[in-house]
Amino acid sequence: MRARDLLAGGESWLLWVGDEDNNSFADTVCEITDPMAPTAFAAGGFTRTNLDGCAALTIKLTCQP
């Protein structure tokens, strides 16, 4: 994905964290759909706490050519 798509005014996106217990059904633990702040890219990532079923979720952002 391009950074501009993750910022406010960008494309719609969904980051989903779930649990699949060896069957065809997966349980959603938490989701993020809100725009990222430019500071998250400068810092190389971000952490969200108390997000649905996630006590803490840390995301690392990596630039690729």
Residue 28 belongs to a domain: yes
Residue 29 belongs to a domain: yes
Residue 13 belongs to a domain: yes
Residue 65 belongs to a domain: no
Q: Please give the angle made by the CA atoms of 20, 14 and 65, to the nearest 5 degrees.
A: 105
- Residue 35 — φ and ψ, nearest 5°? -60, 150
Residue 5 has pLDDT above 80, yes or no: yes
CA-wise closest residue to 58 among 32, 24, 28, 33: 32
- Model confidence over 14-51: pLDDT tens digits? 888 887 777 677 788 888 888 889 999 899 999 988 88
Domain count, the chain: 1
Q: Domain range spanning residue 24?
A: 3-60
Mean pLDDT to the nearest integer, 7-18: 87
Task: Name the residue with higher pLDDT: 53 or 56.
Answer: 56
Residue 16 belongs to a domain: yes
Q: How many beta carbons lie within 10 A of that of residue 57, not counting itself?
A: 19
- pTM for the predicted model, two decimal places: 0.70
Which 3 state secondary structure label does DSSP give 43?
helix
Residue 33, both tokens? 């759909």
